[in-house]
Amino acid sequence: MKKIVMTAAILAFGVINYAQADTIRATSAFGPKHVMAQAGYPALFKKLKELTDGRWTGYDTPSGLVGPNEMNSALREGITDMGPVMFPYFSADYIESGIVGDLSMLGTDNRAIASAVSEYIATCPECIKEFSKNGQVYLGSDATTAYQLLSTKRIESLNDLKGLRVRTGGATYSYIIEKMGALPVYFPASEIFEALSSGVADATYSSIPDLKNIQLYDAVKYVTLIDKGVFNAAAMTNLSQRVWDKMSLEDRSSMARAAQYAQTIAIYSWRDTAAEAEKIAKEKGIEFIQPDKEFVKRGNDIRDEYMAGVTEALTKKGVTNAAAKVDRYKALLKKWEGLVANVTTSDELAELRYKEIWSKVDMKTYGSH
């Protein structure tokens, strides 16, 4: 009898352990070679398993299941449990959260920008409500390094840029390019190489890592260093509300903490890849150009003009109390520029973001319907 009871207890214990070992199905969505597939999501799930004592783990399907332009509905409908949401793809759903993209001309340090974006959205009730409406929980953002002009033609002056067709990734960048005398054109990043090679476009308004990430070395001949803007309008590890609702408060905190590791790996990857891509580009004969003083001044003036009108533009989009929100983002960016000054590793940045943002979030109410 004693043996039977003991056996039953062991079996029950095994069942309980199995039930607690919940698995998150992630879709990093940018392919198996992307940093989130190779390093970001694996680091997240390793940290999550560690922090939850094995109660939660996960795996990533980097491509083939859901594309970035399908992620909003995929998370809402339970097709996948975690994935990146790019705000420009779903701008009507993320009017409040999308403010950060309209302010992407501010700052140059992607560690500070990404962290300011994360704190802004995580502490913005209207933003969190947008994600809740789409069955998601926001867990932070990354950001690219500064944008430059990657071109097939030499661009040093405004006259060189005039009339050129420049691929841009959004309205903010199109505004800058058009005001500087070029013609903005849009097509997916996957088509940039072919467009530059065939002459459909003369340049792309992108970050230097794109030379490597989408293999533009053989299409680009020049890089003009304009340092204007980043891409910061993305939530790289959004979690399905269904999964969040199953988590204990302790595990929610662990989830938020683990997610920072994926994002900071991406942040540092942009920085490391920028240096690597520049080195390889120079070895291949790609020329890096400092634009002339008139070019620089015009770019700065246009940026300032854009920022002077951004509050009105946001209000027209439907953002409430836009001026106060712009000021709050600016203050957060300044705060994070100071905080990251002495940070040297992605792990250090991940823990700093957790301490400054997520450890202060009420996990009982955060992300609730």
Short-list 168, 164, 312, 156, CA closest to 224: 156
- What is the CB neighbour count within 10 angstroms for residue 87? 23
Nearest to 55 by CA among 14, 92, 19, 108: 19
* Apex 234 CA angle, 48 and 182, nearest 5: 155
For 121-151, write each residue's pLDDT tens digit.
Answer: 999 999 999 999 999 999 999 999 999 999 9
Q: Which of 334, 303, 339 is nearest to 226 (CA)?
A: 303
Closest-CA residue to 25 (of 64, 69, 75, 99): 75
Q: What pLDDT shows up at residue 15?
A: 41
Query: What pLDDT, on a 0 to 100 scale, did the predictor assign at position 8?
Result: 44
- Residue whose token pair is 């803007």: 229
pLDDT tens, residue by residue, 215-228: 999 999 999 999 99
pLDDT of residue 199: 96
Residue 250 and residue 260 in contact, taking contact as beta carbons nearer than 8 Å: no
The pLDDT value recorded for residue 30 is 87
Contact partners, residue 196, CB within 8 Å, separation at least 6: 150, 151, 152, 202, 203, 204, 216, 219, 220
Mode of pairing for the β-strands spanning 222-224 and 287-289: parallel
Residues of the chain with pLDDT under 70: 1-21, 369
Which has the closest alpha carbon to 277: 144, 176, 170?
144
Q: Quick one: pLDDT at residue 63?
A: 86
- Return the pLDDT at 190: 78
pLDDT value of residue 369: 64
Angle between helix 110-122 and 249-283 (nearest 10): 150
